[in-house]
Structure 1
């Protein structure tokens, strides 16, 4: 009887191109057993779960989708499955396309639904394993409960902080144009500058946002109890390049 870790390592070696014999030598598992594992691998089974079945996951897509979920998403229970909905403003069609693409990359071959509402849409995916991928799901609103990433989620975000920030700022954030006046050579001049703001009522989610900003070296400040601002010109330019426009 082999552990799930041994089986996962053997299948990973097969996926990278090693032969049955090479994997058997590397793991100490009989060649016939490895062949049986390969033939029964659940990667193409409907409903297969990356967490339950030790399957690879598109980490970049997951990091971005985690940001969207924490920003403006929710998971609920239906009769036979869970569903995730990410709310998107109709004014940002590229963001909607991004969320549709991310959900498809997390569960290839699945159907992604668009639920239309006044002024916005909910992008929806049905899957019984959503709580496995988003253990932050729970009763009540996100800002009313503790939101802490599990170690495997922290590893993914640490490796892909840019997509995670894209999900956060493209869901619960905005890029605004600010202005100020200065006296130059005795005359009043108006200066305009951009600013990114992330607004969320959850202390934990704001902390995750600032943690990711620190990972990529982008300075920030808390401009109100619920708002994280990126205001310096070079910092705004860096965040623009990292997450792209919200359109």
Structure 2
């Protein structure tokens, strides 16, 4: 547990759908969802205003569906619906820990969520509620990475945290290439020009335009979210400064 102070007042946490699978090959792992909910509670208790964007790749990926001959728009909408399932699961786990939440969906689903309304979302965070943004941007051809950068910009977030399976950005896949180099710091343009795969290009460009630093860390490591928030632990920061 970190003993430091948060370096950011309001942040967005982006989690891939795959991060919710744990060791499973598909779907949700309840123990992993519970642990991530505890990470969120820890940061919430530090007084940080927090919102989340969750992917849907553990259930359905639009690009995979399109690759199999499905209409890309239809496949992407199916992927958006998968993010709603993940958002409701994480909402349930977070609220079971006593933290108030709201799910706002870019695709209106009044029975299970609020519609996405920017001013209402900001007000929720000001009142200490964790806001989970579901259904991506609500438009096909945009990833949840882009949705995360968009929502972080709209919410005036101080930083965008991307929780992955590895502890930062590498010049190659560290799982496949053990000698891959990890970066402590990168510039936006460096990420784009070298196509490092931190997030898709539209997400990085949007973060750059709005000067929102992107911190990449391992959500699989217990306590890492709070550590990185306080400038501790292992992570890569993508910002205006070059490496």
Between Structure 1 and Structure 2, the one with more helix by share is: 1
Between Structure 1 and Structure 2, the one with more strand by share is: 1
Alignment TM-score > 0.5, same fold: no
Q: Which one has the largest radius of gyration?
A: 1
- TM-score, normalised relative to structure 2: 0.29
- TM-score, normalised relative to structure 1: 0.29
Task: Name the structure, 1 or 2, with higher relative contact order (CA <8 Å, separation 6+).
Answer: 2
